[in-house]
Amino acid sequence: MSRASSPDTGRWLIVFALGYLALLVDGADVMMYGLTLTRIKAEFGLTNVEAGALGSLTLVGMAVGGILGGWASDALGRVRVVVWALALFSLGAGLLGLTHTFAQFALVRFVSSLGIGCMVLVSTLVAEYVPTARRSLILGVLQTGVSAGYIVVISLANWILPHYGWRMLFYVATIPVVLALAIHWFVPEPPGWRASAATRQGGPRVRRPWRENRYYLIFSDAEARKMFILWALASVFALSGFYGLNNWLPTYLEKELHVRFGSMASYMIGTYVVAFVGKIVAGWLGDVWSRRGVYVLGCIGAALFLPVIVFFHTRDNIVWLMLFFGFLYGVPLGTLGAFMSESFATRVRGTAVGGSYNVGRFCSGAAPVVIGYIATQFSFGVSFLLVGAVFFLSGICTLFIPDRLYDTSAPEPDDALPPTATRDPNADNLPLKA
């Protein structure tokens, strides 16, 4: 019986559906702050730098949560970490509606963002279930859940904000706690993780337990260490771009392009609908061509097109420019889940993905503050030129990351690559014995 049709992997559609909803909630939460920022600034009397600091604090919390969550997902289980993380940031969003000062908002946002940081592990969880031949396409479709979250919250904001205020939008965000319960009930731990856990529990006790530490395993293997560092750098640049845009794009459209809120919501919905298409096309191309090639072209394409928006937008063409940028924006995200998950062995995958991605998040925490500062000194247009530059650098970093080092749904010899092991680059991307 093939692995794709076995009882364990036969439930990947359920795992995919619940994972999709989890990423939808993740995207909604991230976009919610950008949409309410103008109103929060006015009520709390914040400067651009203070508002940017709230965004940066969110990214720092996400980074800390993601790094800890990545380690916990290897030690305790992917599903358990995703469930607790989803519950934490959903309840935290509701508490934000009860805050009345900058300090209160910052504290609650930091704590709730610890859970948001773990959502990168949803892609790892789904990757360990889905069929190998269609993994990039399926994970590309999975990533459209983030765009769906953007669209849902923009639509809700267009209705709720003018009539009920920004607090009500955060109260509504507590509903996904029900989804956390559904994942807990219906999604078992992936077969690969269960096999890895059984191997560790049944193996002999080691005289030097620190040698079993997952960061030791990563950094004692030259190739795993290289992959971790490259993905950390790629994440620093990519997430600086993504979070900088999400944080300030609504304000840019309203304040500098003088787009009314209702029209702005329509522009942004259109942008993220087109990003759906970009992610799906990127996932398909990642399977039939190259995960790396698609990611690099997407980053460089977005980098080159942002100056076009800044310098050549008019009232007549801004809609089309935003739509085309939405497609380019979606391309790197469409292949990221498969590309990154396949860079590491099962035993350290959660730690390596959560660690490298969230090191990037931690460092990119400066992006909202930097963009806010540059916008104060010059304009948001100048700030977005910097965003284009960091997208370009992310693409350059991933030029050095090979495609498909590991099959995430297949068992691995000894479940981890020893520091002296070698790989056959023409084999089925599984580690060979030393």
**Ranges 299-303, 336-340, 370-374, 402-406: which has the least confidence:** 370-374
Q: Reply yes or no on whether the pLDDT at 363 is more than 90.
A: no
For Cα atoms 227, 233, 238, give the angle at the middle one, nearest 5 degrees: 120
C-alpha 253: how far from chain center:
24
pLDDT tier, 329 (very low <50, low <70, confident <90, very high otherwise): confident
Nearest to 214 by CA among 199, 229, 224: 224
pLDDT tens for residues 96-146? 999 999 999 999 999 999 999 899 899 999 988 888 778 899 999 998 898
The two three-digit tokens of residue 365, written as one number: 């925490």
Sign, CA torsion 242/243/247/248: negative
**CATH C-level class of 3-190+211-415:** mainly alpha
Query: What are the residue ranges spanned by the domains of the chain?
Result: 3-190+211-415
- pLDDT of amino acid 48: 77
First to last CA, the chain: 30
Compute the distance between CA of residue 370 and CA of residue 366 in angstroms, rounded to an integer.
Answer: 6
Q: What pLDDT does residue 112 have? A: 93
* Mean pLDDT taken over the chain: 83
pTM of the predicted model as reported, rounded to 2 decimal places: 0.77
Q: What pLDDT score was predicted for residue 204?
A: 54
Res. 229: pLDDT tops 90: yes
DSSP state of 101: S
Task: Tell me which of 82-86, 127-131, 195-199, 407-411 is least confident.
Answer: 407-411
* Ramachandran assignment for 161, one of left (phi > 0), alpha (psi -120 to 50 degrees), beta (any other): alpha
Cα angle 375, 380, 386 (rounded to 5 degrees) comes to 95
Tokens for 33?
Answer: 């702050």
The pLDDT value recorded for residue 422 is 40
Instruction: Render pLDDT for 305-316 as a digit per residue (tens, 0 to 9).
Output: 999 988 888 777
Work out the angle at residue 409's Cα, subtended by the Cα atoms of residues 421 and 235, and round it to the nearest 5 degrees.
75
In the predicted model, is pLDDT for residue 212 greater than 80?
no
More confidently predicted of 388 and 269: 388
Please state which of the ranges 54-58, 121-125, 166-170, 357-361 shows the lowest mean pLDDT.
54-58
What is the C-alpha separation between 50 and 52, in angstroms, rounded?
A: 5
Residue 272 CA from chain centroid, whole number: 15
Mean of pLDDT values over 225-229: 96
- Find the range with the poorest average confidence among 63-72, 95-104, 366-375, 418-427: 418-427
Give the pLDDT confidence of 373-391 residue by residue, as tens digits.
888 888 878 888 988 999 9
Q: Write the DSSP string, 337-358.
A: HHHHHTTS-HHHHHHHHHHHHH
Of 262 and 41, the one with more pLDDT: 41
DSSP H helices in 256-365: 261-288, 291-312, 318-341, 346-364
